[in-house]
Amino acid sequence: MNEFKPVKQEKTVISIRLDVDMLKNIDELSAKSDISRNELIVQCIDFALKHLSQK
């Protein structure tokens, strides 16, 4: 069995400006998913970067 080794990932605080309707959508999705707004945004960015078409 593999051993669990917790790893602290380095994070930094940033600021972004979002359209009001986009923020409402994000807040609704985060509430439905029972995760924070920040975690939802991080997961969305991660998904987008992994699926970005490389030209």
pLDDT band at 5 (very low <50, low <70, confident <90, very high): confident
In this structure, which amino acid lies at residue 44? Answer: C
Structure confidence at residue 31 as a pLDDT band (50, 70, 90): very high
pLDDT value at residue 4: 86
- Provide the whole-model pTM: 0.78
Cβ contact 44:25 at 8 Å: no
Measure the CA dihedral 17/11/46/29, to 10°.
-60
pLDDT band (50, 70, 90) for residue 7: confident
For the residues of 4-40, what is the DSSP string, one character each?
Answer: P---PPP---------HHHHHHHHHHHHHHTS-HHHH
What does the alpha-carbon distance between residue 21 and residue 27 come to, in Å, rounded to a whole number? Answer: 10
pLDDT in tens, 36-46: 999 999 999 99
